Structure 1
Amino acid sequence: MLCLSWGDVRRVDSESPEVLGHMQLKRSKVQCSNHTETHKLILFPDGKLSEHWARDPAVWSTTRLVKELETKDIVQIACGNHHSMALSRGGVLFTWGKNIHGQLGLGSQTPFISQPQVVKTLKGISLAQIAAGGSHSVTVSLSGAVYSWGKNDFGQLGLGDTKDRDCPSYVGALEHWKTVFISCGADHTAVLSKEGLVCTFGAGGAGQLGHNSTRNELKPRVVAELWGARVSQVACGRQYTLVYVPSLEKVYFFGSDEGQLGDKRKTNQLIPLPTNSPVNTGKYCQGGKKSEKVIELTAEGKQTIVLGKKRKNLNRIATLQDEVNVWLSDPSLQRWETIKMNIRLIFSSEACINGSFLEKRDKHFKTSKEVSGVDMSQVQHFYKKISKTPKVLREVQKEIEKLLPSLSSSPISPENFRVYLILPFLLQGEDDSSYHLLMLLAQAIMKLQPKDQQTLECLWSNLETPFFKQLVILYQRVSQKILCQFLKEIRDCQRNPFDLHPREAAVLQILQNLHQVNSRTGFRVQENNFHVPQVKPFIQLYWFFSAQKMSQWQLTKYPFIFDMKDKIDIHDKECIALSTRRAMVGIFCIREQEWWLFPVRRQHLLQDIWTHLNNAPTQQFKKILKVLFVGEEGVDHGGLVQELFSVAARTLCHPDTGAFRRVPSGLAWFPSQASSSKETFFQIGTLCGMALYNRRMAPFPFPTALYKKLLGLAPALEDLEELWPATGRNLQRILDEERDEIFGILSMNFTIMEEGDSMVTVELKKHGANVPVTRDNRKEFVDLYVNYVFNDSIRKPFEDFMQGFLKGCPATKWKMFLPVELQTVLQGCTKFDWHLLEKNVNYIQYEKLDLTIRNFWTVFHKLPEKKKEKFLAFLSGSDRIPGYEQENFTFQIADPQVANPDEVCLKANTCSRILFLPRYSTRRILQKELLYAIEHNKSFGLA
């Protein structure tokens, strides 16, 4: 190897490094060395690492083998003035030596630590290079993230201040800089980007930063004189910096020249200027073959070495490269031990896993809280490959199992989170072992701090839909497995039916977090991918438990695993349990349901309802409602109470009542300047809660936003568009607009015109009238607009409504519903499949093909849609089908069996959904009676 040197360096020979400084070594190959004037590390190919200390540059007084690292397979070393760094192939960074400035990165400033210690904070970061300054340390990851710690009196850490750090800190100013190389001087740092740009920071008193000044820089600053030069190498000495520009075949210098350069120039060089180094970087012939030579710079203390040699990458940590093909092509017994050792090296290390599967074409340099930098298709491809060789797959999963308990619980970088994305796809088998490992992984994820879990969820949200869906399916399968086992243990009397093990709860919590991500990202994955059918036996199991016991049922904390019918069953069971009174009859304990008799006059319906609600004690609302329309026949078995809620909703939504604000969509919404008293919305809320508790519909035409607010969820722009379609579309256009001049033409500011008795201008933020809407702040404007409509403008009436709702429905399991599910349960379905209705009918004293039946359906299907809806109200008390019965809604058609059918009108029992259909002889008569009945609503309730 060619060695050109200035200063106190004599010779470096690749076969026998005889002289380095003044230290004689035995003849042997040296893998790499690193040293300052008083401190030296030498790494030999056999893995031995020797450390040498000197009282002065002429006398090396202390030499020792670093035995603590003998088995660690060290690939990189670095020396500060009095501290050492060593990076293992397994991705672990070790430091030792003086630590008065925290330069070891161990979270303390213990003055001296003699033995190598793991820098735990960087655990899981795939380090590409390490570097040591006088009393500070810097590292760079494979994806260009830079971390610094130690002495910082000149800003050499690049963190914008002069405060020392005893733990690695992320240099945010270099985010997405694509750093590929770092070098440290005594008190300054230089970084090189993939594009060949150089940044420097720290002490600048000798001009070593190259900014044509002697000022210190607390943050990274580009060396402007090198802009466009595409630097390929950079090296820092004590108070100077060297860079190499291959296109010009020149080495440039800036800083304090103390004789290193071998030429005469002024002491402090403030900008990069070429040296007079006798370096030939052209192509040369070696053995008759052309080979391109490049420059490697080494600047150590007062010594500068320029080495001409073939390009060679830094020794790096182990990652998956071509090893996989070797593992699979020759897993012979002779090579198996070597293969196992390589698998163990990579898959026992977070850092090595995180450094594998990186996105190509430099995309991984953009790693952030939104971008993982992982090529998930590579992960999937790797799993498919190794799954064809079970021996290799088992070995990989065995090492993962050992790793899982030690995963980082306090990540410092988005790069740490790659392991949580990669591992599930390496454990996607359907055997017990894979399920067990996924449970352990779930526990590891749940140990993360809330802010770190949010970062992981953000990365999940940015997964491509097929990979996100696969992740959901993986944890759905594990959930199915654990619930099957849970149920078996309950039936075998081995488990308390109300207790979940922590590992089981962790799996369900992961699935819940994925469900929340799916909701926030527009339901990319269908809801049924989260359902776990194995919960159905549990619902039956808990039928006989009290409401108090049901509140302890932990599975209901994970509502996404239940389908809508399951949730309705749970809600029904809770309501029945709450309304049931236990009493002792002799030695027997019996349960009987309590009823609340609710007589009302049809002509004074609202008045009677409010009187009952105002006079009722809180405990009364736990009873099941039985309605009696004064002066009308019939006993309520469900139909009359439904009619009560239907008529009350229709009356309250009538413009004459004036309770609700009618909006362009035709839906009902709270008035922004509520003139009604508190009791109005409190009572309406109570009525809606009672409908839910009594498992009946309250068909108020509310938007989905109301049900989101009831469930504690924030309405969005799409909800505003549901209420005010034109306004919603206009706001969306504002978000989509990319032309700056349009915002100038619109002349909008942060105000909104509110309609009431008079037009009122409302500021969406302080001094909003003076803040124009621009392309940069438009999202804030839209968010504030939506917030004002759904929160600020209706705060009081909604709070009253919510309080009333909670009073009217003392049950709590309704909170399991999704907003659209709760809306469907309360409002019912307004779109029907009438042919499905015909298919579900049961007949009493009739056959399906009887002439009267065929005549009835012929007449019915010819009715206008509105008439059909009126028939539904005539039959069941509501013109809507309960949402949970849409597929199975049924009624009965019965023959009243009278002697003279012509004298009997068409009637319906709303309680039992029975239509009494006399045997008419013609369609004309049937049509006449049907139209008359539904127009005059001649239904009744019977026992």
Structure 2
Amino acid sequence: MLCWGNASYGQLGLGGIDEEIIVEPRQCEFFTGKVVRDVGCGRRHTVFLLEDGTVYTCGCNDLGQLGHEKTRKKPEQVMALDAQNIVAVSCGEAHTLALNDKGQVFAWGQASDGQLGLTNIEDCMRVPRTVKSLSEVHVVQVSCGYRHSLALSQRGHVFSWGQNRFGQLGLGKEGPCVLTPQIIQSLQGIPFAQISAGGAHSFALTMSGAVFGWGRNKFGQLGLNDNTDEFEMLYCVKRIYAGGDQSFAHFRSLQDGSPPDDLRIPHCNQHILHLNEELVQKWLSHAHGSHKRLPAEMTGEIDDIFSSASCLNGSFLSRSHPDHYGTSTKCSGVDMNAARLLFHRLIQPDCPQISQQVADSLGRNLIPSLCSSPPDIEVLRLYLILPECPLFKNPSVYITLTIPFAQAVIQLSNTPLKVLGNWWSRLEPSTFQGLVELYKEVIVYLLRMKSMGIAASEHRTFTCFLSTCLKFLEILHSVNERAGQIIQYDKFYIHELEDLVDIRSDYVTWFQHQMFSSGMDSPVTLCKYPFVFDAQAKTLLLQTDAVIQMQMAVDQAERQNFSSLFLPDGMVESVNPCLILIVRRENLVEDTMEVLRKSKNVDYKKPLKVMTSLIQKI
């Protein structure tokens, strides 16, 4: 261990030396024969983490930042953490955080700005205490700014607390201190691998190598003024570091092919929270051919992955080519084939426990969390990945998974929906057609339910489900048309409609709403989505429309004739409710064309009455 810098408070751990400033690296004899895993430097104190999980501190202790009652110029063990296996430490200006192997966070030191995440304390805490508000979160990385703190969860969520004078908490605005950890909602769904807190600014690094920064920028520490594209195109950020008023990034070229360092893996025996072949094999080997409940550990792993947009998002990034480092409106960076293969390997009929847990986690946690305005383009990858899961094709989960997913898509605002449409248009035709076929099957399933009878209390819910699926299919149809037909237009036909729906009645309902809508909720009619009708159904629609138009023309003529009886002569002209065609046998064509030439558009909708010198026929 080498130390240098300000030693006036004993923060270098060199013991009782006379110098206050050490200008070149000097070996700290205390750590001879010991393996140091991590070091945290505060303004006037230092924390050391040894390989065995023990924590030592030295330096100034005026605010309890050492975690014990002594002010020592040599490192002293924090005995309050003796029973813990600490895996990471971090120092702020005068506060300290420690993380154990169970994902629990301990805090001590200055608390005047809420930087400890503890409630009901005064200006400082002199012994480590658990941050209870994070007790339900498995934290994998902590980072301290001067007077604020960050935590990264195993699910990829970023939490912040403490001083927010410069917006360093990322909560959307500057403001007062935040005393307890808050999840940064604007970063939900992005697969983060690292966090780093500077003096009054913060960074988070995604699995794709993209860096998000927020907070104070007086000295350009956020790097926002560099708007060239070259850096993003040529380099992948591996690690991020935030100092007081400066920032650093360690990068490699894209040709290197390796992703950013995932600090959610604090040591080598911790599982990566991505869906991968190793995890799937472990789950299947335990569940195969057995109907016993899964162990709590495996249930927790499945729930963590399939409840987290970040975990699934980072599971299928394209590794064979660094596309995901340049994710854009035209490139999703997702390896769709890898997603399809791994999902099909995981969801198997003889492992119902796994399928049930996956369905529960998706339906209860993940899909309800999808928002209409995702914080970044990377979040949209999830909308490509999820339908590849075979569970979505299971009728037993249409109501809990497939339809809610469609609802999440149609609720997207215009910009993300346009991006998603661009990505859909670049899918393999077979993949895009699979998505279309899936929702055609859901619509048929719903219509069959209706034909068998639905309770009055469930009618509104059923209508909502059917409307959602039709709107989703309409979005896919629009994408298909804009892209110049990824698949043939007839692939959208639902041939079962004639057996399941009274098309004439459906058209009449739609027509009446178009003519007499009073602004109330419109009924769900298939005629609003004509692309689902095949040629035979469309013929029936045209015939129905012709009958309606004819009757309307007759009714209009009769109303006009009735009005003419009560109004002064010439004000309303009486009209014939039929189109009269008087022809001579020897001059049929000429007479017909002459009558049609003199007729109005409305006359063409009337019943046709043909008259000759011998007969008349309607």
Please tell me whether residue 377 in structure 1 is matched to residue 337 in structure 2.
yes
Worse-superposed segment, 475-484 or 447-456: 447-456
Secondary structure at the residue paired with 1:77?
A: strand
Shift of 1:489: 3.0
Deviations 1:503-545 (A, max 9, x none): 2211111111112222222323233332223321424551895
**What is the aligned partner in structure 2 of residue 192 from structure 1?**
250
Please say which structure displays the higher CA radius of gyration: 1
Distance in 2 between the 1:173 and 1:111 partners? 38
Which residue is 1:725 aligned to? Answer: none
Question: 1:104 offset after TM fit, Å?
Answer: 0.5
Q: Is the 8 A contact 1:543 1:573 kept in 2?
A: no
- Equivalent residues in 2 for 1:598-637 (5 A)? 598=581, 602=589, 609-612=596-599, 616=600, 619-624=602-607
Question: What does the per-residue CA deviation read over 1:790-817, in whole Å, with 9 as the maximum and x for residues that have no partner?
Answer: xxxxxxxxxxxxxxxxxxxxxxxxxxxx
Change in 2 beyond 3 A, CA 1:181/1:599? farther
Instruction: State the alpha-carbon separation in 1 of the partners of residues 607 and 408 from structure 2.
Output: 46
**So what's the TM-score if we normalise by structure 1?**
0.48
Contact between 1:128 and 1:316, CA under 8 Å: does it hold in 2? no
1:520 aligns to what? Answer: 482
Query: What is residue 681 of structure 1 aligned with on the other side?
Result: none
User: Do the aligned partners of 2:373 and 2:412 also contact (CA within 8 Å) in 1?
Assistant: yes
- Give 1:355 shift: 1.3
1-structure distance, mates of 2:249, 2:275: 27
Distance 1:171 1:480, change over 3 A: farther
- Alignment CA distance shift 1:527-1:547 (3 Å): closer
Distance 1:486 1:151 in 2: 58
The within-5 A match list for 1:723-738 is none
Deviation at 1:430, TM superposition (A): 3.4
Q: Give CA-to-partner distance per residue, 1:360-411, whole Å, 9 cap, x none.
A: 1333223222222222222221222223222211211111111222223220
Task: Indicate yes or no: 2:527 matched with 1:556.
Answer: yes
Measured in 2, the distance between the counterparts of 1:19 and 1:494 equals 66
Q: What is the alpha-carbon distance in structure 2 between the residues aligned to residue 547 and residue 55 of structure 1?
A: 65
1:463 aligned partner = 427
Distance 2:506 2:190 in 1: 51
Give the counterpart of 1:410 among 358, 365, 373.
373
Picking from 340, 352, 358, the partner of 2:311 is: 352
One-letter amino acid of the structure 2 residue matched with residue 380 of structure 1: R
Superposed counterparts of 1:155-194, under 5 Å: 155-160=220-225, 175-176=232-233, 177-194=235-252
Query: C-alpha separation between the residues in 1 aligned to 2:221 and 2:268?
Result: 26
Task: Give deviations 1:828-875, integer Å, cap 9, x for gaps.
Answer: xxxxxxxxxxxxxxxxxxxxxxxxxxxxxxxxxxxxxxxxxxxxxxxx
Q: How far apart in 1 are the matches of 2:448 and 2:304?
A: 37
Contact 2:377 2:416 in 1 (8 A): no
CA drift of 1:636 comes to 7.7
Q: Deviations over 1:312-349 (max 9, x none)?
A: 78989621131110000123758622211110111111
Compared CA separation, residues 596 and 189, structure 1 to 2 (3 A): farther
CA deviation after TM superposition for structure 1 residue 14, in Å: 2.2
Kept in 1, the 8 Å contact 2:92–2:148? The answer is no
Q: Contact 2:504 / 2:541 at 8 angstroms: preserved in 1?
A: no
**Aligned residue for 1:508?**
470
**Structure 2 match to 1:454:** 418
Partner of 1:918: none
Q: How high is the TM-score relative to the length of structure 2?
A: 0.72
Structure-2 residue corresponding to 1:768: none
**1:9 maps to 2:65:** no
Match of 1:419 in 2: 382
Give the match for residue 566 of structure 1. Answer: 537
- CA distance 1:517–1:232, change in 2 (3 Å): closer
Provide the aligned length of Structure 1 versus Structure 2. Answer: 501
> Shift of residue 432 of structure 1?
2.2
Instruction: Decide which of 170, 173, 177 is 1:108's aligned counterpart.
Output: 173
Match of 1:363 among 307, 315, 323: 323
Identify the residue that residue 275 of structure 2 maps to in structure 1.
320
Report SS of the residue matched to 1:182: strand
How far off its partner does 1:619 sit?
4.8
- 1:71 matched to 2:136: yes
Q: Secondary structure of 2:238's partner?
A: strand
| Alignment CA distance shift 1:351-1:317 (3 Å) | farther
Q: 1:500 to 1:564 in 2, by over 3 A?
A: farther
SS of corresponding position for 2:253 = coil
Question: Any idea what SS the aligned residue of 1:574 has?
Answer: helix
The code of the aligned residue for 1:360 comes to R
Counterpart in the other structure of 1:86: 151
Q: CA–CA distance in 2 between the matches of 1:148 and 1:173?
A: 19
CA positional deviation for 1:179: 2.1
2:39 aligns with: none
1:535 pairs with 497, 522, 528, which one?
Answer: 497
Contact 2:504 2:540 in 1 (8 A): no
**Which deviates more from structure 2 when the two are superposed, residues 601-610 or residues 187-196?**
601-610
In the alignment, structure 2 segments of 5+ residues that lack a partner are 6-10, 14-30, 32-47, 61-65, 67-75, 113-122, 515-522, 556-575
Q: Distance in 2 between matches of 1:608 and 1:17?
A: 102
Aligned to 1:207: none
Residue in 1 aligned with 2:20?
A: none
Percent of pairs with identical residues: 30
Q: Distance in 1 between matches of 2:362 and 2:258?
A: 41
| Matching residue's letter, 1:370 | K
Change (3 A) 1:5 1:604: farther
User: 1:160 Cα shift?
Assistant: 2.8
1:580–1:439 distance in 2 versus 1, CA, 3 Å = same
2:401 aligns with 437
Counterparts of 2:409 and 2:283 in 1: how far apart (Å)? 30
Deviations 1:235-277 (A, max 9, x none): xxxxxxxxxxxxxxxxxxxxxxxxxxxxxxxxxxxxxxxxxxx
- 1:565-622 Cα deviation digits (max 9, x unpaired): 2122112202211211688xxxxxxxxx95322568855987764433xxx3x75454
> What is the alpha-carbon distance in structure 1 between the residues aligned to residue 174 and residue 550 of structure 2?
66
Shift of residue 106, structure 1, vs aligned partner: 0.9
Which residues in structure 2 correspond to 1:213-232 (within 5 Å)? none
Unaligned runs of 5+ in 1: 162-169, 198-227, 235-310, 584-592, 638-943
Secondary structure at 1:85 match in 2: strand
CA RMSD, 1 decimal: 3.8
Match for residue 299 of structure 2 among 321, 333, 340: 340
